[in-house]
Amino acid sequence: MYNEDIKETLIKAISQRKPIKFRYNSPDDDVTGERIGYSHAMYINYYTGNILVDIYQTAGDSNEKKVIPEWRQFKLSCIDNIEILADKQFEVQKDYKPNSPKYKNCIAKI
């Protein structure tokens, strides 16, 4: 289950295009350090029913081999200790596709 305060913070960060800092505590992920990025969309996955967040991660820990910065998908229920950073608004990433079919059940997006 997810924390409603974290959900509301993410919705605010998406609407204001502000960077976020958070911890990710997934059972499938043994890397639990801080991560920083630009959240672009939150939506309900059509197949699993999980609430997912598409974040362009710019810094911090990652369990993936891809070089940061890179797109990452995070389960809302595993996000913890979130903070909106006071930085200026971020630019929407050029490869962001707001009309993607995966956003059919969108909660918030840029």
Instruction: Walk along the chain (110 residues) in steps of 10 and give the mean pLDDT of each run.
Output: 95 98 83 90 96 97 83 95 93 97 97
Q: What is the pTM of this model?
A: 0.93
pLDDT at 29: 66
pLDDT at 57: 97
- The contacts of residue 36 (CB under 8 Å, 6+ apart) are 19, 20, 21, 57, 58, 59, 60, 85
Sign of CA dihedral 97, 21, 25, 107: negative
pLDDT at 26: 78
pLDDT at 97: 97
* Dist CA 14 CA 54 (whole Å): 10
